[in-house]
């Protein structure tokens, strides 16, 4: 329908998570949370974490935004639930490098699980911030940063 690279961006998996996001909604028992905002496009996400024994026991999100930001938040919550904080930091690093580093060929993208689908976003520099917003917000939640994260 569209060219290959745009189909890379809007893959079935991304469209599915956009239409039916996983782990969407507030987490009442959260003990960490943070809000992220992209002032240029208005994408807005709030991440809720329940951390016990240095492990993400539960994670949910709310907010509004484009398909890339919403599906990225959805897949991130899927992948990180049950992971230790050390694993989370490592996975964040890989995701961030995948989208921003010049050479990402040596990254272990298997560690990202489904979220590796976002490798195509690199071809769309204006959209990288959409995919990384939820992840930066996650880190802010872990660090208990009360100021909203902003991509700018």
Binding of another protein at residue 41 (CB under 8 A)?
yes
Nearer to another protein, 58 or 124 (CB): 124
Nearer to another protein, 68 or 107 (CB): 68
Three-state secondary-structure class, residue 48: strand
The sign of the dihedral angle between the CA atoms of 53, 54, 55, 59 is positive
Of 79-87, 96-104, 125-133, 135-143, the window that binds another protein (rule: CB under 8 A) is 125-133
Binding of another protein at residue 143 (CB under 8 A)?
no
* Alpha helices, DSSP H, located in the chain: 4-9, 12-19, 67-80, 85-100, 128-142
Q: Minimum Å distance from CB 95 to another protein?
A: 20
Q: Which two three-digit tokens encode residue 22?
A: 């996983």
Binding of another protein at residue 13 (CB under 8 A)?
no
Phi, psi (degrees; rounded to nearest 5) at 128? -60, -40
Task: Give the residue, chosen from 124, 139, 148, 150, that forms a contact with another protein under the rule CB under 8 A.
Answer: 124
- CA dihedral of 66, 132, 76, 5, whole degrees rounded to 10: 60
Binding residues for another protein (CB under 8 A): 1-3, 5-6, 9-10, 15, 18-19, 40-44, 64-68, 70, 124, 126-127, 130
């Amino acid at each position: 329908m569209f060219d290959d690279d745009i189909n890379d961006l809007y893959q079935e998996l991304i469209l599915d998570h956009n239409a039916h996001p996983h782990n969407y909604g507030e987490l009442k028992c959260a003990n960490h949370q943070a809000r992220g905002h992209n002032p240029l496009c208005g994408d807005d996400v709030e991440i809720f974490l329940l951390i016990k024994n240095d492990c993400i026991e539960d994670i949910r999100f709310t907010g509004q935004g484009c398909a890339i930001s919403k599906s990225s938040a959805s897949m991130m919550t899927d992948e990180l639930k049950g992971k230790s904080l050390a694993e989370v930091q490592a996975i964040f690093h890989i995701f961030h490098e995948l989208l921003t580093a010049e050479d990402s060929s040596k990254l272990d993208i298997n560690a990202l699980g489904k979220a590796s689908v976002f490798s195509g976003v690199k071809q769309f520099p204006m959209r990288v911030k959409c995919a990384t917003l939820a992840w930066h917000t996650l880190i802010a939640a872990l660090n208990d940063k009360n100021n909203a994260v902003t991509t700018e």
